[in-house]
Amino acid sequence: MLWFDGALHEGSRHGFDLADRGLTLGDGLFDTALCLGGRLAFHEAHLARLAASAGDLGFAIDREAVGEAMRLVAAAIGDGALRTTITRGSGPRGLAPPEPARPVWWITAAPRRAGSGFAPVSLSPSEIRRNETSPAARIKTLGYLDAILAAREARARGFDEALFLNTKGHLACAGTGNLFAILDGRLVTPPLSDGVLPGIVRAQVLGLAQSLGIGTTERSLALEEVLAAEAVLMTNSLRGLSPVTAIGTTAFPGGHEAVAALSHGLRRLIAEECGVAPEVA
């Protein structure tokens, strides 16, 4: 299903200007949200991040129109993954952004991959580095080639996801999610300044941990620290919270009490957002 130019369409094909900067230069952004029972989990947070990210790129979106379209697509599909893509629009040849921008946006929906919610993952450290000095590291831009190549390599090695360090050698993120380590009973995650996307579920888990009495810290993490952690977990909007079973040759035992509590709490939050039973999340 596709929302484009103010209307719902069946399938995923529609006319497109081949001079669009999203196609020619990757000049745009996207957001992926979980839809259950016809409602989006953390809808307002997703919408706020889309608007803020567009502002960081130097153009504005019609937040009300995008938000309403997201609600309509969610209601139409019931359960699934909803992706909102926004480009700066078309422009003349060259890098200089056109003024004014004429953003183009559309929404697509697809089934959530069966069994992916709250499923464990294994991570393979990548030789590709996350550039923490780039503003794009904190925005879901359309330029995902590093993640694509790292994912291909990770899967060839028998792992589910790639793990990225930044140019300073600090932990940054997984290919499609934020990372947390439990160290001395505290939930520790890299700061945004280390090349980290401000994940929607990342923020929810940090807040949830505090409500559960689990201490939280945002600081730079060396890979060696993470390999010695009590537990490691990955979060994103479609998976929710995924316990990490291994990073390279280092395996992590399952059943950590804090991970179980956070997982249970996040399921409950998603269920409340979408008006469904917790086991559905």
The pLDDT of residue 136 is 93
Residue 5 has pLDDT above 80, yes or no: no
The pLDDT of residue 114 is 81
Residue 12 has pLDDT above 80, yes or no: no
User: What's the pLDDT band for 15 if we cut at 50, 70, 90?
Assistant: confident
- Residue-averaged pLDDT of the chain: 95
Question: In this structure, how many other beta carbons lie within 10 angstroms of the beta carbon of residue 26?
Answer: 15
**Spans of all domains in the chain:** 2-110, 121-280
Contact 123, 251 (CB under 8 A): no
Cα distances from 61 to residues 7, 12, 65, 68, 105, in angstroms, run: 17, 22, 9, 13, 9
> Thinking of the domain 2-110, which architecture would CATH place it in?
2-Layer Sandwich (3.30)
What does the pLDDT average to over 120-131? 98
Q: What percent of the chain has pLDDT over 90?
A: 88
Q: Torsion angle of alpha carbons 174, 177, 179, 180, nearest 10°?
A: -160
- Nearest-angstrom CA–CA distance, 180 and 87: 31
Tell me the per-residue pLDDT of 157-184, one tens digit each, with 9 for 90 and over.
Answer: 999 999 999 999 999 999 999 999 999 9
What does the pLDDT average to over 250-272? 96
What does the pLDDT average to over 247-257? 96
Q: Say if domain 121-280 classifies as CATH 3.20.10.10.
A: yes
- Nearest-angstrom CA–CA distance, 53 and 30: 9
Residue 189 has pLDDT above 90, yes or no: yes
Residue 9 has pLDDT above 90, yes or no: no
Would you call the peptide bond into 111 cis, given omega within 30 degrees of 0 as the criterion? no
What does the pLDDT average to over 96-121? 92
The pLDDT of residue 56 is 96
Place of tokens 């060839």: 156
Residue 249 has pLDDT above 80, yes or no: yes
The pLDDT of residue 184 is 96
